[in-house]
Amino acid sequence: MNQLDALKQYTTVVADTGDFKLLGTWQPQDATTNPSLILKAVQKPDYQPLLKEAVSRFRGRALDEIVDRLLVRFGCEILSIIPGRVSTEVDARLSFDTNATITRAERIIELYQAEGIHTDRVLIKIASTWEGIQAAAHLETRGIHTNLTLLFSFCQAVACGQARVQLISPFVGRIYDWYKKSAGAGWDEAAHAGANDPGVESVRQIYNHYKKFGICTEVMGASFRNTGQITALAGCDLLTISPELLASLAASEIPLTRALAPEAAQQLDLPAVSFDEAGFRFAMNEDAMATEKLAEGIRAFCADAIKLEQLLLAD
């Protein structure tokens, strides 16, 4: 059995791509997208017609509406291939505006419903700011399920659990990147591999907390740099993996064992933790890595959203 098939025994595998033509190869349950992935996809010749169609059909509409319609078109194509859910992201420029995030999420859901897609097959991706988490809490009460992204810290995960969001996406690779860059020449790759990878350690802490205290929010590790990070999280609820790393797992027959399990987490002696807004903001302030990576991630998604808009305007 290859590692990908072995992983699927313990974990729901999600494809991290906007390139829906690749999905049939890996047969994932779910798929995730973000502005960067959609931008990358629409610049390929195969996807140019989707871009042109969005512009021609909705010319004269507000630019943000055309963008949402393009994102939903990609989402619908993805859902025609996979059996599960697709994640579609709210504009990152709204990351600090709770009401605007709610309004945009509701529109995205309405666009999916107009295409005959049931709400349960869509996760609205929202940045894990305090404002984003509050927006998600409101949306969940209305039956709109959310995927809280750009999550780098334990306090973000705890707040998401309190908000009863459907799913969180802790970013393993970006946590690893920060610690490696911070250590500079002193970084010991071997000592920080596998279970000792700082990104892996972060997800394990979150997973154990959720399972220990019966928090129903799903944990989906994301943003992987190598297959060692993935195999070290076998047993996590979900893992969203790029096509390149899916191929590497499929090509490997190194034995894979389960690393995370609810039963083991429930036996741990862990303190109960909760955060109000002040406590959350202070905990984020104390975590330089999370503060920097959250800001960096929002800036990058905003930049790619603007590039996508420019492509639409130029067409």
Reported as type and span, the H/E element at residue 45 is none
Q: Percent helix, strand and coil across the chain, each rounded to 5?
A: 60, 10, 30
Surface-to-core class of residue 122, CB atoms within 10 Å of its CB (0-12 exposed, 13-18 middle, 19+ buried): buried
How far is C-alpha 105 from the geometric centre of its chain's CA atoms? 16
Q: Which of 21, 44, 52, 125 is catalytic?
A: 125
Longest Cα–Cα distance of the chain, Å, equals: 59
Are 74 and 34 in contact by the 8 Å Cβ rule? The answer is no
Note if 212 is an active site residue.
no
> Cα dihedral sign for 189, 194, 195, 201?
positive
Question: What's the half-sphere exposure (Cβ side, CA atoms, 13 Å) at 138?
Answer: 15
Q: Is 245 left (phi over 0), alpha (psi -120 to 50) or beta?
A: alpha
Are 146 and 167 in contact by the 8 Å Cβ rule? The answer is yes
Q: Using N-to-C axis directions, what is the helix angle for 48-57 and 288-314, rounded to 10°?
A: 70
Instruction: Give the Cβ contact number of residue 143 at 10 Å.
Output: 9
Residues annotated as catalytic (active site), given as ranges: 125
